[in-house]
């Protein structure tokens, strides 16, 4: 049993009247930690410490020294790699290979990548004429925005948290992180890393808790937070946006998605099959960029559905440390109940259940976990509940299509616009379709490839703003103009 404390001003703190909440394992529903819930006083203390660091030691550091520290953070994460993998597996229940090969290494890389970006992005300069003929010179400088509120999701907690913390610190800001109540461990572990490498106190703070009437609400309401970055549900993003309007504070949101995968008959069949399988079922379907709507050109539709069914039925359930397993549980019993409710709605609305649709038969030691079957449907109208609403589980509906225009209209028929993946050998078609699908990121013959220098974010109800490379700098800094009369 672990005791997870808030991390404020470089110290792990517990208040005299501290309230705690339980963190349960998604594997077996066993309580694995007691987590200190931050009240308004703790949140305000964290924000004050962040402000003090900004005005003090951290704000006085040179860019070179600041980026050296971020490199040291990445190196210390790598040195403690096994600790982070174990913590993330305990929080999420996902397989070891997902944590060790993707989520933790990419989380560490976020600190080095953005340390490099901030050192190598040039400013603008312009000469202008003046009436006296002497002219003037304009140039830009970037200054940190201030104290950043970072509100993180539970599906890839360390990766998505560092995706925000890395560039925020690289730009000279300080942060107060509110991790999901479902996944508190790696955010706290990063506090130990910050202390080990000598990051000044108050630069990185962590407050645990929930949303309404808890740490999340308190963090977004305080006007001492200069900007807020959030990944999560669209509904929560709307609430945060209202809170941020007090003080006209900037926001950057990655919100919900109902992403389409488009498979043309001329695709590399095996590559497309593997790609759609990964995008639908990786991380037990708990990926913002995942595919819940699959459109397959009619000549290969039946073959594709059968092959996808065989792959889904071959997943191996088990504990994350069991290297023979490749499929974990959902994050919680509450989330499983939500996903199962969608499974029932699909059945009630007339779906053909190709595979899945329920709960797998697990051994006694895992039967109380949040396990669920990967599920494939066909035969539903585009107005069906499971085609319109984001489920965030291991499921997809597969529908045939006949023409390019038809599938573009199908892909765009959603209030969301986060991502899509197109599978075709016809490069001209790939370019045409990519330009017409209304999303923030399109993959062609791939999925989940991310160059951190490129813009990332959603269209429509899937988000506001762009992060990645110089686009992160645009959010985490204020760009100022200096005009010098010559």
**254 has catalytic annotation:** yes
Alpha-carbon span 406 to 123, nearest angstrom: 44
Whose tokens are 């109800």? That residue is 461
Q: What token pair was written down for 352?
A: 């053909």
Alpha-carbon span 317 to 123, nearest angstrom: 51
Closest-CA residue to 257 (of 465, 1, 458): 458
For every residue of 9-77, DSSP letters joined together read TTEEE--TT-EEEEEE-TTT--EEEEEEEP-HHHHHHHHHHHHHHHHTHHHHS-HHHHHHHHHHHHHHH
Strands 250-254 and 463-464: antiparallel
Helix axes 104-120, 157-170, angle to 10 degrees: 20
Whose tokens are 């504990």? That residue is 319
Catalytic residue among 37, 42, 86, 254: 254
Strands 136-144 and 125-128: antiparallel
Q: Which run of H or E residues covers position 217?
A: helix 215-221
In this structure, the number of other CB atoms found within 10 A of the CB of residue 341 comes to 12
In this structure, the number of other CB atoms found within 10 A of the CB of residue 90 comes to 19
Alpha-carbon span 117 to 328, nearest angstrom: 35
Q: Which run of H or E residues covers position 470?
A: helix 470-476
Handedness of CA 270, 458, 113, 82 (dihedral sign): negative
54, 146 contact by CB (below 8 A) = yes
Q: What token pair was written down for 289?
A: 């960029």
Alpha-carbon span 117 to 103, nearest angstrom: 21
Closest-CA residue to 167 (of 124, 229, 218): 229
Strands 19-24 and 227-231: unpaired
> Which residue numbers are catalytic?
254
């Amino acid at each position: 049993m672990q005791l997870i404390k808030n991390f404020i001003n470089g110290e792990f703190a517990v208040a005299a009247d501290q309230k705690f909440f339980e963190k349960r394992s998604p594997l077996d529903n066993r309580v694995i930690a007691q987590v200190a819930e931050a009240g308004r006083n703790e949140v305000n203390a964290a924000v004050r410490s962040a402000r003090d660091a900004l005005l003090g030691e951290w704000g006085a550091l040179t860019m070179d020294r600041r980026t050296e520290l971020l490199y040291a953070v990445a190196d210390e994460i790598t040195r403690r790699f096994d600790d982070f993998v174990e913590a993330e597996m305990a929080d999420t229940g996902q397989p070891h290979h997902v944590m060790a090969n993707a989520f933790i290494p990419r989380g560490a890389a976020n600190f080095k990548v953005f340390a490099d970006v901030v050192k190598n992005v040039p400013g603008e300069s312009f000469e202008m004429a003046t009436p006296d003929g002497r002219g003037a010179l304009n140039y830009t400088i970037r200054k940190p925005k201030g104290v950043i509120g970072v509100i993180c999701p539970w599906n890839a907690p360390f990766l998505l948290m560092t995706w925000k913390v890395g560039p925020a610190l690289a730009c000279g800001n300080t942060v107060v992180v509110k991790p999901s109540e479902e996944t508190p461990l790696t955010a706290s572990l990063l506090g130990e890393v910050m202390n080990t490498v000598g990051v000044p106190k108050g630069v990185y703070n962590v407050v645990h808790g929930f949303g309404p009437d808890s740490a999340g609400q308190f963090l977004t309401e305080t006007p001492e937070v200069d900007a807020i970055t959030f990944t999560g549900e669209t509904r929560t993003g709307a609430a945060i946006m209202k809170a941020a309007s007090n003080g006209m504070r900037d926001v950057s949101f990655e919100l919900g998605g109902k992403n389409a995968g488009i498979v043309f008959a001329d695709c590399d069949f095996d590559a497309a099959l593997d790609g759609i399988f990964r995008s639908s079922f990786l991380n037990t379907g708990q990926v913002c960029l995942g595919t819940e709507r699959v459109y397959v050109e009619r000549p290969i539709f039946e073959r594709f559905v059968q092959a996808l069914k065989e792959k889904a039925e071959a997943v191996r359930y088990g504990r994350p440390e069991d290297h023979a397993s490749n499929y974990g549980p959902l994050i919680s019993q509450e989330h499983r109940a939500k996903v199962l409710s969608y499974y029932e709605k699909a059945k009630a609305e007339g779906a053909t259940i190709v595979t899945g649709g329920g709960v797998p038969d697990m051994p006694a030691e895992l039967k109380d976990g949040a396990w669920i079957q990967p599920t494939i449907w066909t035969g539903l109208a585009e107005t069906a509940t499971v085609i319109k609403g984001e489920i965030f589980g291991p499921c997809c509906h597969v529908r045939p299509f006949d023409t390019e225009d038809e599938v573009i209209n199908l892909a765009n028929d959603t209030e969301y616009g986060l991502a899509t993946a197109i599978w075709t050998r016809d490069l001209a078609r790939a370019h045409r379709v990519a330009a017409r699908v209304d999303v923030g990121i399109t993959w062609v013959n791939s999925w989940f490839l991310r160059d951190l220098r490129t813009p990332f974010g959603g269209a429509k109800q899937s988000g506001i703003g762009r992060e990645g490379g110089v686009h992160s700098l645009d959010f985490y800094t204020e760009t100022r103009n200096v005009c010098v009369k010559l």
